[in-house]
Amino acid sequence: MAVMLALRLLPPALALSALACSNVAGSLGNPGDSGTCSTNTAGAAAGDDGGDDGGSPCNPGDLDGITGGCYTFDLTVDDTGFTPIILKAENLAQVTLTLHNNGTRAHDFIVGCLPISYAGCPPQQCFPSAANIPPLQPGSSATTTFATPNPEGIYNFRSDVSGDSQLDSDGGVTGIWGQFVVQ
């Protein structure tokens, strides 16, 4: 949190280069961002916070002024969890995700939805169905490609094979799960 606060205080060009120093999967310049797609930083360079970019009420504007890019993730699942457990990408980015099952039983990859509360809009925003990977047998891998949604937020992902995870009544997840941060 302190890093993000510090980045917000930096001039946009310095904030963007500071992001390249992060070691979080999916941060610019680190594993997770292949750098082969365009990233729109025009809004950030102009000091635009994205809140007034004319987005529809059901699809709000970008909050950090940066959208797009290409991200590649190698995600491993075993009988106790995912590695890494946090993935980060910009909204409206192209993602290629490969899931490796190193467990002793089948596991899958399902991304949950983000509840939204905009009048006249659907009650949630979800990743496209192409983001989900069906159950993989032990030792198997599968790759999927998809676009991250807008709005920004923290979307839970999990393995929903019987016995792997459970959705809690408060919206949380227990068991084999992680978070996909769309920024």
**In 3-state terms, what secondary structure has residue 4?**
helix
138: CATH: 2.60.40.420
- The reported pLDDT for the residue numbered 25 is 55
Q: What is this structure's pTM?
A: 0.71
* 50 in any annotated domain: no
How does residue 49 score in pLDDT terms, banded at 50, 70 and 90? very low
Looking at the domain assignment, is residue 165 inside a domain?
yes
> Residue 140: inside a domain, yes or no?
yes
3-class SS of residue 14: helix
Task: Report yes or no on 155 lying in a domain.
Answer: yes
Burial class (CB in 10 A: 0-12, 13-18, 19+), 117: exposed
* Amino acid identity at 128: P
Token output for 86:
């946090």
Domain count of the chain? 1
Beta carbons of 140 and 116 less than 8 angstroms apart: no
Domain span at 161 = 25-37+68-182
93-138 tens-digit pLDDT: 999 999 999 999 999 999 999 888 878 888 888 999 999 999 999 9
* pLDDT for residue 162 is more than 60: yes
